[in-house]
Amino acid sequence: MLIFNREFRRNLKMLIIWSVIISGLMILTLSAFPEVVKQQKAIDQIIKGMPTALIKAFDMDVLNISDALGYYATKGYIMITLFGAIYAVMLGGNILSKEHSEKTIEFLLSKPVLRSNVITQKLLAVFVNVMLFNLIVAAANYIGFKSVDATIDFKVFASLTAAPLMLHLLFAAISFFLSSSLKKSRNAMPISLGLVFVMYFLYIVAGIADKYAKIKYVSPFEYVNAADIIINKGLDTIYMSIMVGVIIISIFATYIVYRKKDITI
């Protein structure tokens, strides 16, 4: 576990920074909830005045903002899914390609360690970091809900925690695969970052314009849509299966490609 230990220590600072910032944002958002309930009427007026496209894009037509989870879904949830995905691709896209771009891979692979072992330990470091990030943010959310005395359905809360985790693992696995298979492995991170933004954009566009509604099935952001989770009181089995499938395929492909790759420096 030498490589895992080193990667964990090396990435700890980034984990702490991202977790603290996102957790802070969540607690701040939730602390405003009592005010929102108080001004419910005024807010209803404002929402009515907003363009329907915007209302639909942010699911304000189906979510009740005076319900704590509904409020969280429209305000905080999207920050976690989007920023978490950015964090995940930065982690997954960098951890292996850094060894290539800084040419330290020559040192590492001259030691008695199998390439598959390098992959295993680095992937594990990425997944553990992503899970810890989600755990810390979930804890912050829980504290946030408790501090405003909100009564929340625990199953829905658990689903709203698990869904972003799946999304982050998905993007981490894809960016890791790209970094192992691209000839210029340092391109993996910017490409995956672009993928995150494109997917997010497609999700928003599909929400605004009815004629593009079908696009939403392409975007994993749709798979973790908070409104659906709240309405169905749980995760969509098909969407989750697709995500798990893509994660598993990415991991397998990483092992297959990287084992046979010519390491040219």
Partner 1 sequence: MAVIELNDLTKNYGKNRGIKNVSFSVEEGEIFGFIGPNGSGKSTTIRTLLNYIYPSSGMAAIFGKDIVRDSLTIRRHTGYLPAEVYYYDDMRAGELLRYSQSFYGKNNNKRIAELAERLDLELNKKIEDLSSGNKKKVAIIQALAHEPKLLILDEPTGGLDPLMQNTFFRILREEKQKNTTIFLSSHILSEVQRICDRVAIIKEGEIIKVEVIEALIRNQFKKITIILANDQHQDLAIEGVIKQERLGNRVHLLYGGKIKALINNLKDLDIKDLFIEEPTLDEIFMHYYEK
Minimum CB separation of residue 79 from partner 1 in Å reads 31
Residue 262 structure tokens: 């010519």
**Minimum CB distance to partner 1 smaller for 211 or for 260:** 260
Identity of the residue numbered 138? A
Q: Is 149 in the site for partner 1 (CB under 8 A)?
A: no
* Binding footprint of partner 1, residue count (CB under 8 A): 19
Q: Is 184 in the site for partner 1 (CB under 8 A)?
A: no
**Minimum CB distance to partner 1 smaller for 110 or for 151:** 110
Minimum CB separation of residue 3 from partner 1 in Å reads 9
Q: Which of residues 7-46 bind partner 1 (CB under 8 A)?
A: 10
Q: Which of 35, 44, 61, 102 binds partner 1 (CB under 8 A)?
A: 102
Closest Cα partner for 83 from 185, 167, 189?
167
Q: Is 142 exposed, middle or buried (0-12, 13-18, 19+ CB in 10 A)?
A: middle
Minimum CB separation of residue 186 from partner 1 in Å reads 14
CA distance readout (Å), 177 to 187, 191, 224, 255? 12, 12, 22, 9
Q: Of 104-112, 127-135, 196-204, 240-248, which part binds partner 1 (CB under 8 A)?
A: 104-112
CA distance readout (Å), 21 to 14, 28, 84, 152, 169? 11, 10, 11, 24, 20
Pairwise CA distance, residues 84 & 161, whole Å = 12
Pairwise CA distance, residues 20 & 79, whole Å = 13
Minimum CB separation of residue 12 from partner 1 in Å reads 12
The residues that touch partner 1, with contacts defined as CB under 8 A, are 2, 6, 10, 102-104, 106-107, 109-114, 260, 262-265
